[in-house]
Amino acid sequence: MSKLSPVIALLLTPLLLAACDAIDEEDISPLRVRSVAVALGMTGDPTTERELPSITDPKAQLGMKLFYSKALGLDQDTACVSCHHPVLGGGDRLSLPIGVDAENPDLLGPGRFHTSTAPNWDGGPTVARNAPSTFHAGLWDSAMTADGRIESLDKFPNFNGDPGDFGLGIVTPDSLIDEFGNRLVDPNAGSNLPTALARFPVTSVEDMRGFDFLTLVTNDDVRNELAARLATYEGWRAEFAAVYGDDVISYARIAEALGEYVRSQVFVNSPWKTFMLGDDNAISEAARRGALLFMLPTRVDGASCVTCHRGDKFSDELFHVLGMPQIGRGKGDGDTGTDDFGRYRVTSDDLTLYAFRTPSLLNVTETGPWSHAGAYTTLEAVIRHHLNPQAAVDNYDFNQLESSIVASGQTDDMRINTQKALDKLATNRAIGVFSAPLLELTDEQIGYLLEFLKTLTDPCTQDRACLAPWIPDETVADPDGLRLNAVDANLNPL
């Protein structure tokens, strides 16, 4: 982290200066905005030169049926969609998820609560980190999850945002560790990051596994149990035979199909893409001002957001310390046991303590709450945190959270835990580790940034009818009768 980020910054600087110095500083024309974006290697289309499946592909269709089936929860009360519904931005619209043991397993999003008769009940959510959006999962090259525990050694984004391929492989929590402490390639990870990730939520007791089935010791024990369960259903055997040519059900095939469904969730037809393709009227003047603020360096009164949120997917896929508020149960770290050490949990490298992966900003208006623990419920609050993290935490408004998080005591250690992350951020700055700059922006400028961020959202993600192909209806086979029929807090279908 400390080596790569300054290199990126150095590479960006000459291109940005060329784009800035050649044009009057007051110029906010479409031509100038595009020129700066092109100088930064942006095209507006993050799918360029990528092979991504269509939702109509047979494996993606099989994956959708699996994604919605509670048969993949050992207690049969959760499905992948419990925390990742397309109508909810590919997440659950909660700061922190309720995985297993929900009062109403089919109720998703706000209003989903942990039942008081369940193990480890405290009145609040059960999962330690915010549910990441499945949207654009197929665009990640280097790492998935906030701490990068699912990581590709093959692909690292180069300056233009394109992946390199070195034929190495993917490391996961199942990876063996060599004598030097390095994670070795997981031979069962599959061919892409979403497939590798699909092997792990089912093994987490809070997410999908549940607290029973104690005879299942290893992760593979859990996966094999689930594959064997599906094999008892004639409907599933027929589904797998139609896709694979035989009715053998293995978890490797389950993970591959789930991965293809998630990789098909490509929603990139945004106003920004239309603008970059040449339509001057696709975004407003305020959004153009915001785009320049976002892209330009601080030396010419920009905000340098693009240093971390770079390329067409608006992420460097690296890990940075921002001191975002630590709420929830945490990962068992620190003196409090409610802290989350972030990337350090994977690397044991002090430079990565409290560092989390840069999220993509594609469809960002639909993927809140934001931060690794979902501590912010407005994008404006996220921006203001970046400007002055210490002040943001000192003035944090707990009223923005779901009441159950506060009432359960899951915010009691927030200031103790988060101050340690803020102190780490201050130390990083002092020793020259790249960090987000402290900035002063006016309310008007923050408004411009928000207008720009809105242009990164594909309208399809806001339209239930447009999202319908990714949501099984009564015409889609239900192989086990365990499909999660999602409803909201008013029991209306999602």
pLDDT per residue as tens digits for the range 150-188? 999 876 544 344 444 445 899 999 999 989 888 999 999
pLDDT at 325: 98
State how far the Cα of 418 lies from the Cα of 434, in Å rounded to an integer: 19
What pLDDT is attached to residue 25?
Answer: 52
Tokens at 281, concatenated: 């009227």
Q: For residue 168, what pLDDT is reported?
A: 80
Owner of token pair 């700059």:
437
Which residues neighbour 218 within 8 Å (Cβ) at sequence distance 6 or greater? none
Residue 140 DSSP class: -
CA angle 203, 372, 354 (to 5 degrees): 100
pLDDT at 167: 58
Residue 475 has pLDDT above 50, yes or no: yes
In percent, the amount of the chain with pLDDT more than 70 equals 92
Model confidence pLDDT, tens digit, residues 318-342: 999 999 999 999 999 999 999 999 9
Q: Give the residue-averaged pLDDT of 228-247.
A: 98
pTM value > 0.85? yes
Q: Are 484 and 112 in contact (CB under 8 A)?
A: no
Distant-in-sequence contacts of 378-387, Cβ < 8 A, 24+ apart: 379/450, 379/453, 380/446, 380/450, 383/441, 383/446, 383/449, 383/450, 384/446, 385/322, 385/323, 385/324, 386/305, 386/322, 386/436, 386/439, 387/438, 387/439, 387/440, 387/441
Other Cβ atoms within 10 Å of 482 Cβ, number:
16
Question: Which of 54, 50, 23 has the alpha carbon at shortest distance from 38?
Answer: 23
Task: Give me the mean pLDDT over the 351-376 stretch.
Answer: 98
407/412 Cα distance (integer angstroms): 10
Chain-wide mean pLDDT for the chain? Answer: 93
Structure tokens at 151: 């990581």
